[in-house]
Structure 1
Amino acid sequence: MKHIVFFGDSLTAGYGLKSPSTESLPALLAKKALEENKEFSYTNAGVSGDTSATALQRLPIILKEKIDIFVLGIGANDIIRGHTAQSMNTNIESIIQKIRISDHNTKMILLGMELPAWISHKTVSAYRESYKNLAKKYELPFLPFLLEGVIGNQMLNLPDLVHPNAAGYQIIAENVWPLLQALL
């Protein structure tokens, strides 16, 4: 059975959900895989508040596991906290390289993050380009914006309008599933 590590921040961890063990993105993808007879085991290695720098620091512990697929979704907190796109890019690239060095057979998926369209910020394109360029450089399956179609929608989010609720995660899982399904 394949083992998948979902590595990220609160969006991976399932922050604010009543039952992250059944409603988070990793749990929903595991359920979907089971329904299609593509069962896998997984580790939800999401830590609320993580930036690309703190994620890079905790990566060595995760790399002790046998990993068939590594789903990388980090950077939202870098953007929110105003870290530069360049520093985020450097950290995410280091994570990708360390995974490749650890086991060159591990497949990876990159989940992109950006500021939602309703927030204007002069560096929006730099973050977007960072993810796109890393996906291209390392030939990674790539979802440009993890929260596409969910962010800002009151019906799909917690009151902060940033963290998805259970219904929002259903949509996100549908968006991520084709990338994961292709690697299973």
Structure 2
Amino acid sequence: MIVVRSCVAALLALALSACNSNTTADAPAAAPAAVPARTPATPPTAATGKKRLLFFGNSLTAGYGVEPDQAFPGLIAEKIDSLNLKYEVINAGLSGETTAGGRSRVGWVLRQPVDVFVLELGGNDGLRGLPLTATRSNLLAIIDTVRRRSPGAQIVLAGMQIPPNLGVAYAADFKALYQEIAKERDLVLIPFLLEGVGGERRLNQPDGIHPTPAGHRIVARTVWTVLQPLI
């Protein structure tokens, strides 16, 4: 398991609310389940030699309130293009998604194999106080589906944290859940996706919960630190 250094950001309530489907911000209809972050001129084939990097998550991945190329998956795609790496980047983020929802649609998203799969889900579960046993079961099912459909894929798990509104023990167990799953399934782990962004007013939109383009740039750097050695 590879772990990227993380510090717990202050005011997690604002940051983690970005994924809450009950907020006004997540109310608009979401984009299709899988949308290329940067649409290639031709689909990736054996002839083009391009591999697939897929981001699978909720409104944070979908980039609510910013242009597609300003969200962190789009910024990763731009970085990959600048380095002439042979990857197609696909943004499969869906605002308001829970782990149960992700479990139900991951098979459809993986109709074509992927080489790197970034899993960013669970924040909505925690904010709703859903049983951690269910969140764990859903995340494991998603991971198992990826490995069944794309046996050679590298899987990156983006950890999330929640405020102690539902109890300190629940918040601590929620945070530890990602570490446990990453260790159990030998995944690459980002302990906290929103490191340096969560709760920072200047890095979030007027709603106080979705990152601005500047916030997404910080998230992209956090993610790139993990992805660079993989690709």
Same fold (TM over 0.5): yes
1:58 alignment partner in structure 2: 105
Structure number with the bigger relative contact order (C-alpha 8 A, sep ≥ 6) is 2
2:62 alignment partner in structure 1: 13
1:168 alignment partner in structure 2: 215
C-alpha displacement of 1:38: 2.2
Detail structure 1 runs of 4+ shifted over 3 Å in the superposition.
Answer: none
2:41 alignment partner in structure 1: none
C-alpha displacement of 1:86: 1.9
Q: Are the counterparts in 2 of residues 24 and 166 from structure 1 also a CA contact under 8 Å? A: yes
**Partners of 1:5 and 1:35 in 2: how far apart?**
18
1:104-119 matches, cutoff 5 A = 104-115=151-162
2:114 alignment partner in structure 1: 67
1:56-95 matches, cutoff 5 A = 56-95=103-142
Q: Residues 19-49 of structure 1, C-alpha deviation per residue, up to 9 Å, x if partnerless? A: 1x21111101111122233242121100000
Q: Residues 50-106 of structure 1, C-alpha deviation per residue, up to 9 Å, x if partnerless? A: 000001001110111121111100111111122122211111011001111112111
Task: Give percent identity, aligned residues only.
Answer: 38
Q: Is the alpha carbon distance of 1:85 and 1:162 closer, same or farther for their aligned partners in structure 2, counting shifts above 3 Å?
A: farther
Q: Are the counterparts in 2 of residues 75 and 88 from structure 1 also a CA contact under 8 Å? A: yes
1:25 alignment partner in structure 2: 72
C-alpha displacement of 1:2: 1.4
1:121 partner amino acid: G
Which sections of structure 2, spanning at least 5 residues, go unmatched?
A: 1-49
Q: Which of the residues 142, 146, 167 maps onto 1:121?
A: 167
Q: Are the counterparts in 1 of residues 118 and 155 from structure 2 also a CA contact under 8 Å? A: yes
| C-alpha RMSD of matched pairs (Å) | 1.5
**Partners of 2:196 and 2:139 in 1: how far apart?**
24
Aligned with 2:228: secondary structure?
Answer: helix
Which sections of structure 1, spanning at least 5 residues, go unmatched?
A: none
Aligned with 1:163: secondary structure?
Answer: coil
Aligned length: 181
Q: Which of the residues 131, 137, 150 maps onto 1:103?
A: 150
1:130 partner amino acid: L
**Partners of 1:59 and 1:73 in 2: how far apart?**
12
Aligned with 2:203: secondary structure?
Answer: coil
Q: Is the alpha carbon distance of 1:148 and 1:137 closer, same or farther for their aligned partners in structure 2, counting shifts above 3 Å?
A: same
**Partners of 2:150 and 2:113 in 1: how far apart?**
9
Correspondence 1:35 to 2:82: yes
Query: Which entry has the higher C-alpha Rg, 1 or 2?
Result: 2
